[in-house]
Each structure stands twice: as C-alpha cells, then as structure tokens.
Amino acid sequence: MYSYSDFDEAFVRARVAQFSQQVERRLDGSLTEDEFRPLRLMNGLYLQLHAYMLRVAIPYGSLSPRQMRQLAHIADTWDKGYGHFTTRQNIQFNWPKLPDVPAILSALADVQMHAIQTSGNCVRNVTADHFAGAAADEIADPRPYAELLRQWSTDHPEFQFLPRKFKIAITGSPNDRAVTKAHDIGLRMVRNAVGEPGFEVIVGGGLGRTPMIGVTVRDFLPEADLLPYVEAILSVYNTLGRRDNKYKARIKITVHETGKEAITEMIEARFAELRPQFGGADQKLLAEIRQAFAPPAFRNAPTDAYDAFYRADPVFRAWADTNLTRHRNDQYAIVTISLKAHGKTPGDATSEQMRLIADLAERYGHSDLRISHEQNVILPHVHKSDLPALHAQLVKAGLGTANVGLLSDIIACPGMDYCALATARSIPVAQELATHFEALKLEHEIGPLKIKISGCINACGHHHVGNIGILGLDRAGVENYQITLGGDGTEDAVIGEKTGPGFAYDEIVPAIERILRAYLDLRLEPAETFLQTFRRVGMEPFKAALYETERTQDAA
C-alpha cells in the first residue's frame, strides 16, 4: 500500500492547520458564511438537512486496517458510531459538529487520510476497480496509476477552478467494474496488437441530469503518456467548459457540443504540446509508486478444507457462491463483505463492524481492504483455507449476508434522509425492497440483478446504469419514483430506459415486484438474467406488467 512521502505528510498537515484557522475565523465572525462555504467544501465539509456532513476520500478505494480503525475511532468520538460508504469510494460522517471538524481532520492525517478535493469544482477522488491487484482477469494493477493521478491532481494550480467537478475512474481489467464509461474520464486498460498494456481513454461520460455514455478519444494510449494525455483533456475542458450554466458545465456537455472529432483533435493538439514537457519524472515516480503496490507474499497451502466445508455447509456454500470472486492465485479468493444486510442501510458500517473488519483483514487478508463503489467492503486476498473461519466471524457480526450481486445488494444514495439536494428518500426504499423480497424468498431465484436508487436527478445512486433504476422525485409535494430498465454499468454500458409514469412511495415496492414476476415468467431458463431477458424481449412486456395490472385494479 502507498505510504505518504514527507511531502504528502507536510501538505496534508498544512491543510489541516489552514482549515482549523478558517473554522476559528468562521466561529468568531471574521469570515461570513459566503466566504467560508467554498473553504469548507474544499475540505469535504457540507451542510446537509439535519447536520454537517464530512466526506473523507478513500483514494481508489484502498484502506489499511489501521485506517479503518481510525475511521471507527472518529465515528465513536465525534459522530454517532457509524460511517456511510459511498458510490465514489468515500466515507461520509453524517453528524459532525463544526468546532470538532479540525480535530477529525487531524485524526485523519494521523493515518494518512484527508477530505481534500472531495467536493468543489476540481478533480475528485480517483476511483478504481475494487478488485485491483487481485482479479484473475486483470492486465495490470490500476492503483499505481490512480495514485499517480491523485498526486498530480491534488492542489494542481491549473485545475482548482474547473467549470465543474471532475471524476476519473480507472480499471486494469477489460471487464469494467469501475463504471469507467460514466465518468468524466474513464481509463480502461487494454493491450495493443503487440501485447503491450495501455489505456482506452473514454471522455464525457456521466449520469445526473443529462446521462451520457463516454466516447473513446483514444483506443490505445501507451502508459507512459497517461499524465500528459489526462492533462491535455483537462486543459481543453478548462478552456471550453461552460462556466455560464451550471447544468451545461460538465465535460459531457462540452464533448457533446464540440463533437467527438473536433474535441479529439483539440486534445491531441494539446497533448503534442504537453508531451515534451514531461521529461520522465512522472515515470520515475510511477516506478516508485508501483513498488508500494507489490503483491503480498501469497501463502502456499492446501485448500481441501475449504472444498470439504463448501460441500458440507449450505449456509457457507450460499455465501461462497455469491460473495467470492476468482483470484489470480487459485488458492485464494476475493471476498466481498456485504454492507447490505436485509433491512439495513446500504453502505453503512458501525464502528464495531469496522474494527472487526480491520482485525479480519490482518488475520486473513494480508492487511488489505477495499471499498467498492457498490458500497461493500472487499478483502482482496484471502487464502481459501481461511474462508470458513472468516465467514463464521462475519456472520456473528451481522456481516455474513450472502447477497452480493443479487436484488438486495442495492446501491442507494443517502437521499432525503440526509441530503440537502435530495427530492425524495432512497434508503427506506432500499430497505423495504430487501426485506420484501427476503420474505418472499425470491431473491436467489431471481438471480443476478442490480437495483440502483437515487433520491434526486444528480444520480449519486447510479440509477441510470442499474438493471432496474429508481429515481425519487418531488411531484407536486409528494415523493414519486420513476423506474428505468435495462441500464448496465459494465464495459457494455447502457443508460436505462424510462418505463413511464412514476409511482408513489407506497407503490414502488409492489411495482418492482410486478416487473420481477414478469421477468420470472418471461425468462427462457433460470440462467437467463434479468438484463438478458430485458435485452431479448424489450420494454413492452414489462410495461404491460407494470401498468396494465394497475389499470385493472383501478377498474375493479
């Protein structure tokens, strides 16, 4: 794992000192709220519905056990004993008090963490494949590149006042688990004709008010060109981006208005200017960073105990079938710890759970932890012989839910339970969907399904790329939920299609049930997933199931 250099350490400490003084000046009246707001946002501090909220970056989703314990300590000392992991691999504390925030930032700095650039019109936390360094399908570990991008973008003087926020995602695998096509810049590792690794560069993806799938501006970028090329993209955007209209300020609009060919030419022209200025220092730094991400010393031991346990214990088997992913080392598995226990808040972990996860990572997981954009925790390297013991301890702590990739593994934004921008609640909809289908015992029969819920048009819950997307709106003073179907956040990214009129809060769960019962009737065989069925039969049969039943009920 990357460890701060003296420069990083000094920079983060200096920022804590600076913000501590700014808080002091706000509290004594020397700064007005208008003056203070941009300063607090630069440090991840929002004012939400019921309280302040502090958003802390977890760079490319990587955490050490020590950092996880410190997050637990912060939750206990200055918050309400829990934290919320987000779709951007951040953690949010929902109840900090303004005078305590400097102490929290200082506690974060103690474990090489910060909240810098988690808000504002700058390059945000760079997100990455949560299986980085472990996945069997990986070309190269994306984290060294993500760390290079983090260092380059942190306090970059040219990019502190971009037209709008800017999100970069990176994956080292051809199978995209980082939703790269829905980011301002998506970097997808590929190999060229002679087998060298490089990046497909995707620009102008994004969800929100105007959802768009990014366009590929370079099919193959040699890895040595990464930084100058990304800088060229930012530079073109910084010049062209619409500062006159907040709703047209993201790079997706710039790409759309400029046209793929014209913007590609501008990026290439700027790249030609910038490339010679990168004299190789970036590559030297990358080589150093790479050493920090060397694979752990994998154990060589028999896995028979795992196989025997798998055959003997149906509860363990169910968990292994859903929550494990193939590791590059056959003796190992990637473990996803579900933060989606039925009826609980998606992405929330109590301080006790955080401490247990930290202990388990040390005992069984080579001290490596990841947070996924799907709001779960990953132990990327667990020897298979340790899985039965690990599972038993997870179950005891309420962390053994066997539902990863299934219906109740729902992404949900905080919605109107916390967020000042929200137009409706998301969390209780996720809770009710999970408990409803759990009671019906349909979840495993339905199989792989991604439901994603956003409580407003800004789409933090990624609803556009959910197989079933739910968007909460305010329709004439009442919560109303719009459904989209067929969205997909993988390398074949697709924006979901709206079904039609939305549903009231107490109608949304029955509406989803109608869609899923229609799917069970329509699928050719149990192995055909919801998304495959939707792609085969299209929207009409689902619309019929959704709305005709309703009409029949109205007529009765």
Residue ranges in contact with another protein by CB under 8 A: 26-27, 29, 32-33, 47-52, 80, 94-99, 345, 416-418, 425, 427-428, 431, 474, 477-479
Residue with tokens 């048009």: 457
Least distance in angstroms from the C-beta of 506 to another protein: 13
Measuring CA to CA, how many Å separate 346 from each of 52, 349, 405, 442?
A: 20, 9, 13, 20
* CB neighbours of residue 48 within 10 Å: 17
Q: How far is the CB of 511 from another protein (least distance, A)?
A: 20
Please report where in the chains the tokens 């912060």 appear, as a residue. 74
Q: Give the nearer residue to another protein in terms of CB position, either 29 or 276.
A: 29
Of the pair 366, 425, the CB lying nearest another protein is at 425
| CA dist list (Å): 119 to 116, 300, 335 | 8, 44, 30
512-541 burial string, b = 16+ CB within 10 Å, else e?
bbbbbebbeebbeeeeebbbebbeeeeeeb
Around Cβ 333, how many Cβ atoms within 10 Å? 25
Q: How far is the CB of 101 from another protein (least distance, A)?
A: 11
Q: How far is CA 295 from CA 142, 313, 366, in A?
A: 13, 31, 10
Distance in Å, CB of 346 to another protein, minimum: 10
Q: How far is the CB of 51 from another protein (least distance, A)?
A: 4
Judge contact between 471 and 451, C-beta under 8 A: no
Q: Which is nearer to another protein, 244 or 506 (CB)?
A: 506
Q: Which residues contact 7 (CB under 8 A, 6 or more apart)?
A: none
Burial class (CB in 10 A: 0-12, 13-18, 19+), 341: middle
Q: Hey, what amino acid is at 150?
A: R
Q: Which of 345, 351 has the CB closer to another protein?
A: 345
Between 104 and 485, CB nearer to another protein? 104
Q: In angstroms, give the least distance from the CB of 514 to another protein.
A: 25
Q: How many CA atoms lie within 13 A of 13 on its CB side?
A: 9
Length of the chain: 556
The CA-atom distances, in angstroms, between 310 and each of 110, 305, 313, 426 are 41, 8, 6, 36
Helices (DSSP H) in 380-505: which residue ranges?
387-396, 427-440, 443-446
Q: List the beta bridge partners of residue 47.
A: 52
**Shortest Cβ 403–another protein spacing (Å):** 18
Residue (102 or 487) nearer to another protein, CB = 102
In 3D, which of 486, 474, 534, 546 has the Cα closest to residue 510? 546
Q: How far is the CB of 116 from another protein (least distance, A)?
A: 21
Which one, 95 or 481, has the nearer CB to another protein?
Answer: 95
User: With respect to another protein, which residue has the nearer C-beta, 202 or 419?
Assistant: 419
Q: Shortest distance, CB of residue 507 to another protein, whole angstroms?
A: 16
Would you say 6 or 34 has its CB closer to another protein?
34
User: Which pairs from 26-33 meet CB under 8 Å and 24+ separation?
Assistant: 26/98, 27/98, 27/99
Q: How far is the CB of 510 from another protein (least distance, A)?
A: 19
For another protein, the closer CB: 315 or 478: 478
Q: How far apart are the first and last CA of the chain?
A: 63
Instruction: Look at strands 451-454 and 468-475 and give their pairing.
Output: parallel
Tell me how far, at minimum, the Cβ of 109 lies from another protein, in Å. 23
State the Cα–Cα distance between residues 351 and 431, nearest whole angstrom: 21
Least Cβ distance, residue 474 to another protein (angstroms)? 8
Q: How far is the CB of 126 from another protein (least distance, A)?
A: 29
H or E element that contains 380:
strand 377-383
**Inter-residue long-range contacts of 304-310, CB under 8 Å, 24+ positions, other chains counted:** 305/385, 305/388, 306/384, 306/385, 306/387, 306/388, 309/387, 309/388
Cα 403 to Cα 307: distance, rounded to the nearest angstrom = 21
Nearer of residues 52 and 547 to another protein, judged by Cβ: 52
Nearer to another protein, 95 or 306 (CB): 95
Chain centroid to CA 81:
22
Nearer to another protein, 64 or 401 (CB): 401
